[in-house]
Amino acid sequence: MSKIKPSKGAPYARILGVGGYRPTRVVPNEVILEKIDSSDEWIRSRSGIQTRHWASDEETVAAMSIEASGKAIADAGISAEQIGGVIVSTVSHFKQTPAIATEIADKLGTDKAAAFDISAGCAGFGYGLTLAKGMIIEGSAQYVLVIGVERLSDLTDLEDRATAFLFGDGAGAVVVGPAKEPHIGPTIWGSEGDKSETIKQTVPWTEYDSTGKFPAITQEGQAVFRWAVFEMAKVAQQALDAAGITPNDLDVFIPHQANERIIDSMVKTLKLPEHVTVARDVRTTGNTSAASIPLAMERLLATGEAKSGDTALVIGFGAGLVYAATVVTLP
């Protein structure tokens, strides 16, 4: 018989607040076209992207995260001292150690919160949300801050016609806290490592000195598109089934903002009703990887396209290849 006392966490968890930060510099397609042989019409038709935000030297991963997190904490109506955990998903913090989450936790004024980084690409927000939910139910924290943040402009090859127009910078954050009813559904997540070569860093950091070329993100566009369209719609449906709801029960759909054509295909495959609001933040923010879902969520709530209490399906997918989908109640 175990001598360990049972945990005293909350029965359920929910998102209590959301915040976002977009760098001040807005970059239109015309700037991208200075380095690649393409057109504004081609970029818009292939991706839906019209503009993206690129960070300045001062808009670091930590600085953007702190701005977004401060808004999320205020939106949740709590203080930073109440945060017991800080989870940061990013692929663009270039120090192997220490985790950037520790710096963010300190500068926000948390009381020595547990803090760590995760690397799950464009599915990182979903991974972090699932971990935060577990921490609250387990009882190791009352409130957990989940941050998705990227400076993908640092990892963009501006001469690569296939990817130069895709990526943007920004940070999105949510506060997850206790709830008396289920407001975050079961997560359908996983990985397909046999497809890891389809989205990758061009060279490892250990080869940077010998090549003389800074590593960038590259991808096999058609392979990624087919996988996202055909496989991720299945995962999204599994998340709906696990939550015990149908597309008719949804109010909002917030997929990873990778490409508007992928979003449109998923909407069609899932047969989402016309009343469901679909996030299309990709048009003006580009692909911000781990930051894209919380940034899109924050914008929908700020513009009134979505409202507090709405039921939303969120799904992230990307390098790995990894994915995570769940149903949540919006804060």
Please report, for residues 200, 271, 325, 329, the alpha-carbon distance to residue 247 in angstroms, rounded to integers and kept in the order given: 33, 7, 14, 15
Q: Which residues are identified as catalytic?
A: 122, 256, 287
- Rounded Cα distance, 105 and 86, in Å: 6
Q: How far apart are CA 26 and CA 299, in angstroms?
A: 16
Sign of CA dihedral 258, 262, 266, 268: positive
Which residue, chain included where needed, has tokens 């943007």? 168
Sequence-ordered alpha helix ranges (H) in the chain: 29-32, 40-47, 61-76, 100-108, 124-138, 208-211, 221-243, 260-270, 282-285, 292-303
Distance CA 121, CA 148 (A): 10
- Cα–Cα dist 121/117, whole Å: 12
Residue whose structure tokens are 């915040």: 19
Q: Determine the Cα–Cα distance for residues 29 and 47; give it in Å rounded to an integer.
A: 11
Q: CA-CA distance, 247 to 229, in Å (whole number)?
A: 17
| Closest among 54, 154, 69 to 103, alpha carbons compared | 69
Label residue 139 left, alpha or beta by phi (over 0 means left) and psi (-120 to 50 means alpha): left
